[in-house]
Chains A and B, each alone.
Chain A
Amino acid sequence: AQTVTQSQPEMSVQEAETVTLSCTYDTSESDYYLFWYKQPPSRQMILVIRQEAYKQQNATENRFSVNFQKAAKSFSLKISDSQLGDAAMYFCAYRWTGNQFYFGTGTSLTVIP
């Protein structure tokens, strides 16, 4: 069974600093996709970054980057130069070649001015 674990219910970071959110997952598949979603208080989930498991290169999107360790089944999100607008709940998600996503329980990120 596929499971996604986010072991940090809450994290905080000073504005302009860097923070890393952790995610581990369990799967027996070799080809899959991993995602980080952001859910601000308005509740609409927004895609932050996406990683294909077959790609060795870590995905980056502006201030957001991932550290994908396939053997360790780890997929952490690094947010550089944190901004007040980054404050939100962050969900790690896994998708195999099926159609459903498996989400973790989320990490609530607070950005301190």
Chain B
Amino acid sequence: DTGVSQDPRHKITKRGQNVTFRCDPISEHNRLYWYRQTLGQGPEFLTYFQNEAQLEKSRLLSDRFSAERPKGSFSTLEIQRTEQGDSAMYLCASSSGSNGYTFGSGTRLTVV
């Protein structure tokens, strides 16, 4: 286990379609985070899990977004009825405490 893995790396979808991304954190990390990064901006917090519990959700996470971490290991982020404004890099990160995150390489979503 060498880091945080995200799949897919790139996703192109048509407006209105649903997409799902996966994140596999570092195995010993109990905390998992999803961030969204648009061009020229820093990452913005979406949601946070401690083990399988989703403890925080940003206002950015509209009803079309849902995240799960069913067994406290990998997580999925689903976007329903995608819109062009959803085009961004979706970053996953994990941590085990107050240290910095370890980020994945991200999933770049393009909605056409």
A interface with B by C-beta (< 8 Å): 4, 33, 35, 37, 42-47, 50, 91, 93, 95, 98-106
Contact = CB atoms under 8 A, between A and B. Distances in A.
A37 B100 contact: yes
Contact of B89 (A33, A43, A50): A43
Interface in B16-41: 31, 33, 35, 40-41
A47 B42 contact: no
Interface stretch (B68-76, B79-87, B101-109): B101-109
Interface residues of B, number: 27
Nearest to A106: B42
For the complex, would chain B's binding face be called helix, strand, loop or mixed by DSSP majority?
strand
Contact of A47 (B35, B58, B100): B100
For the complex, would chain A's binding face be called helix, strand, loop or mixed by DSSP majority?
strand
Query: Nearest 9 pairs between A and B by C-beta?
Result: A103-B42, A45-B103, A100-B45, A47-B100, A44-B105, A99-B48, A91-B42, A103-B43, A35-B100
A100 B100 CA distance: 11
B45 A44 contact: no
Contacts of B99: 50
